[in-house]
């Protein structure tokens, strides 16, 4: 620190310190005063500000537009995905509903004839006659499945017909709508006997009912069980129309089948397990009659 005591250097040091002190004091005390600026500054500000405002607004709008566009794309993709999932769910629901209805139909078929000693073979209808009159039906079961000729075919609603042609895996049904299929039957209420056979417009006709029988419209017609084909008590249909003429000994009766043949999908083939020998005898007798 000897240079500080030097008389020649000391005044210079004091002068430098004083200048530094004034500079720091001026900076600390400086007060920034707002002013309008020069004409040139105002001109530059007036010229550039609208452009800056326009560019800033365009930038914000561009950002917003692209954000909205990306949002729309995402929403559209999400909607497509949801529609696809909804379509799959609807298909599954339709499948489940179809299975439910089929199970209900099969349950009704299986419950048919539980009190009888009957062997049941469930089958699906795979075709019908080309005329569209549902007189002949084909099912997907045959000899290999236990189906035999002349076996009774029913649904949960009532009588359909009997097996008249058969192979190992398929069989044809002659329905009660065919005029060649004659069913010995009776009116459940009056126990009046008659023969039911196929008629016109998917109706049946019941013949040989005498005029004195007090049958009425809506009376239930069932199988009589007198033949070796159809067991007793199977529903055939209801009387829809009847006419009693002043002449003749019988009356004209039309019967509406209880089975809706246009909506028939599954059937059940019946045969008596303890009556196979009797059935074979009947078939032999039937064939001998045809030969005559």
Whether pLDDT at 48 is above 80: no
Cβ neighbours, 10 Å, residue 222 = 21
**In angstroms, rounded to a whole number, what is the distance separating the alpha carbons of residues 271 and 121?**
9
Residues 64-106: pLDDT tens digits? Answer: 666 666 676 777 777 777 776 776 666 666 565 656 666 665 5
pLDDT average, residue stretch 129-142:
83
- Which pLDDT value is given to residue 140? 94
For CA atoms 57, 61, 63, 64, give the dihedral sign: positive
pLDDT average, residue stretch 263-282:
67
Residues 168-217: pLDDT tens digits? Answer: 999 999 999 999 999 999 999 999 999 999 988 889 999 999 988 999 99
* Residue at token pair 């008249």: 164
**Burial 12-46, CB ≥16 within 10 A → b, else e:** eeeeeeeeeeeeeeeeeeeeeeeeeeeeeeeeeee
Residues 225-261: pLDDT tens digits? Answer: 887 789 888 999 999 999 887 777 889 999 999 999 9
Per-residue tokens: 282: 């009947």
Q: Could you tell me which residues are beta bridge partners of residue 171?
A: 139, 166
- Which pLDDT value is given to residue 62? 62
Domains and CATH numbers, the chain: 118-273 (2.40.10.340)
Whole-structure pTM value = 0.59
Lowest mean pLDDT among 61-65, 124-128, 278-282: 278-282
What percentage of the chain exceeds 90 in pLDDT? 36
Q: State the chain's mean pLDDT as an integer.
A: 75
**In angstroms, rounded to a whole number, what is the distance separating the alpha carbons of residues 189 and 211?**
16
């Amino acid at each position: 620190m000897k240079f500080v005591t030097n008389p020649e250097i000391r005044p210079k040091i004091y002068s430098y310190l004083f200048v530094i002190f004034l500079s720091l004091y001026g900076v600390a005390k400086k007060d920034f005063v707002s002013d309008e600026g020069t004409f040139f500054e105002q001109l530059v500000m007036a010229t550039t500000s609208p452009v800056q405002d326009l560019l800033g607004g365009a930038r914000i709008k561009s950002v917003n537009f692209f954000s909205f566009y990306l949002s729309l794309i995402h929403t559209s993709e999400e909607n497509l995905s949801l529609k696809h999932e909804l379509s799959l769910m609807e298909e599954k629901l339709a499948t489940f509903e179809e299975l439910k209805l089929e199970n209900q139909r099969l349950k009704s078929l299986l419950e048919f004839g539980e009190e009888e000693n009957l062997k049941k073979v469930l089958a699906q209808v795979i075709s019908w006659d080309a005329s569209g009159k549902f007189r002949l039906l084909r099912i997907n079961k045959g000899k290999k499945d236990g189906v035999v000729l002349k076996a009774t075919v029913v649904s949960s609603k009532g009588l359909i017909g009997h097996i008249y042609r058969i192979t190992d895996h398929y069989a044809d049904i002659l329905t009660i709508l065919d005029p060649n299929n004659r069913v010995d039957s009776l009116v459940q209420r009056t126990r009046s006997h008659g023969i039911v056979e196929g008629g016109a417009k998917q109706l049946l006709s019941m013949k040989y009912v005498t005029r004195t029988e007090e049958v009425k419209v809506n009376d239930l017609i069932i199988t009589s069980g007198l033949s070796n084909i159809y067991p007793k008590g199977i529903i055939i249909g209801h009387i829809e129309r009847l006419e009693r003429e002043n002449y003749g000994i019988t009356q004209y009766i039309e019967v509406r089948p209880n089975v809706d043949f246009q909506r028939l999908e599954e059937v059940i083939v019946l045969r008596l397990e303890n009556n196979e020998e009797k059935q074979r005898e009947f078939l032999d007798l039937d064939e001998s009659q045809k030969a005559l």
